[in-house]
Amino acid sequence: MVELLKLYVKSKAKPSKNTELMGYIFPSENIGLYLHVPFCKHFCDFCPYHKLKYDPALAREYAGLVKKEYRLHEPRRFNSLYIGGGTPSGDLTLLKELLDFLRDNVMGEIALEVHPIDATSEKLQEMKELGINYISLGIQSLDDDVLKHFGRGYSAKTNFLALENSIKAGFDFVDVDLVFDPLAFADKKIQSDLEKIMKLSPQQISVYPMMRFSCTKFRNTRNNSRKELKIFDRLDEIADKNGYERDTLWTYKKKNLVGRYTSVAREFYLGLGLSASTFSGEIFAVNTFSMNLYRKRLEEGKLPIEIVYHLKGLQGALYYSFWAFYAGKLDFARLSRFFPDSSKKLRVLFETLRLTGYLSKSSMIYHLTPRGQKKLHQFEEWLTYAFIDPIWCQLKENARNFKDLF
Ligand code: SF4
């Protein structure tokens, strides 16, 4: 069944040639806003995200362009704002300018990815004063050898200090990001990292297997999902012992805690900035990776979209379902409300997955079983290598053709 699903996704997911969209039509509720700040002072070896070398003058110009992009969209209220990068915590002047512009249209959390080097008590205080109440601290590891392997460019001591400062700072929600590479290090390293961080009691810890993107130095190898799944089994035990439980596919949260730091598991979202993506239910679009093209399109009064998928029929509903299951469960009544034409077919699919042990059901809610969780882990990796990696490579290549330097 899952193999058939992969064939279906592969046959249908073809980008449209027409990227001249005038705007997006969203459902009337539950839309998140994502802002990409693409500047980094240091480039890490494992990182596939789109980034440019930090330059204060370019950052000032970027703020103006993002505002232009925002004004091309219909005014609306968003239920959250997630700011990612790049290193959005690296330039608080840029952040202030954009938050002053966007803040009034956001009803829920304002969430920021924080680089450990920026997590000093003073800077964290400034972030709070800007209205940021959720942070995700990207430490990746507490081990110097692992940090070196990822090419992070600083030591574990910085991470320990950043953790202490971030937890003391009093944000409403602190997530800590960890990455592990089972092809390079023994399982004990990630187990020990998780245990140490859980002792400090942040609300959430995200644990990702390192993906080996073609644009990184790890391009010639692929993940070993079986090995990763065994590691997650052990991490689940450590979490349970320390008062945490698996929340989304790759996050652990304190037991019975309401709320979650997530820029990905959202029903619908509008992306602003270079390389940001948007999902409206009927459309999945990715902005250009090229600063030159981004500037040009906005000066012409056009949305800076470079790839767009028109998700006809089942496709939009499947995309929605994938991220709902990534977060652990799917409310079938909500799905039917947003995608009424697809609900009959999806009910057949979910009932088949239930009968084969991947899902369970209570009233109208489908939950991922442990077996389903493992299958989704493999499916997520398949999606990354079948779609995300080639799309990102192509968009990076296009940006080079526009003579962007990064
Ligand atoms: S991991 Fe973060 S700091 Fe490193 S290059 Fe990527 S976005 Fe920049």
Domains parsed from the chain with CATH numbers: 30-310+387-400 (3.20.20.70)
* Global confidence as pTM: 0.95
Which long-range contacts does 285-288 make (Cβ < 8 Å, 24+ apart)?
285/19, 285/21, 285/24, 285/309, 286/391, 286/395, 287/36, 288/395, 288/398, 288/399
Nearest-atom index, ligand 1, CA of 152: 4
Which of 36, 39, 44, 218 to mutate to test ligand 1, by most ligand atoms within 8 A of the CB atom? 44
Sheet strand arrangement including 251-254: 244-246, 251-254, 204-209, 173-180, 134-140, 110-114, 80-85, 31-37, 268-272, 277-279, 283-287, 305-310
pLDDT of 406 strictly over 60: no
Q: What would the two tokens of residue 277 be?
A: 């993506």
In the block, which residue shows the tokens 């304002």? 110
The mean pLDDT of 251-257, rounded to a whole number, is 97
CB 32 within 8 A of CB 266: yes
What's phi and psi for 162, nearest 5 deg? -60, -40
Q: Does the Cβ of 115 fall within 6 Å of ligand 1?
A: yes
Nearest-atom index, ligand 1, CA of 43: 5
- Give me ligand 1 centre to Cα 248, in Å: 23
Q: Does the Cβ of 150 fall within 6 Å of ligand 1?
A: no
Q: Does the Cβ of 85 fall within 6 Å of ligand 1?
A: yes
Q: Does the Cβ of 290 fall within 6 Å of ligand 1?
A: no
State residue 263's pLDDT score.
Answer: 79
Residue with CA closest to ligand 1 atom 2: 86
Nearest-atom index, ligand 1, CA of 47: 6
- Give me ligand 1 centre to Cα 119, in Å: 15
Q: What would the two tokens of residue 111 be?
A: 């969430």
Nearest-atom index, ligand 1, CA of 113: 2
Residue-wise pLDDT for 29-49, tens only, equals 889 999 999 999 999 999 999
Residue-wise pLDDT for 124-166, tens only, equals 999 999 999 999 999 999 999 999 999 999 999 999 999 999 9
Q: Does the Cβ of 141 fall within 6 Å of ligand 1?
A: no
Cα–Cα nearest to 156, from 167, 164, 145: 145
Residue-wise pLDDT for 292-316, tens only, equals 999 999 999 999 999 999 988 789 9
The residue type found at 133 is N
Residue-wise pLDDT for 341-360, tens only, equals 999 999 999 999 999 999 99
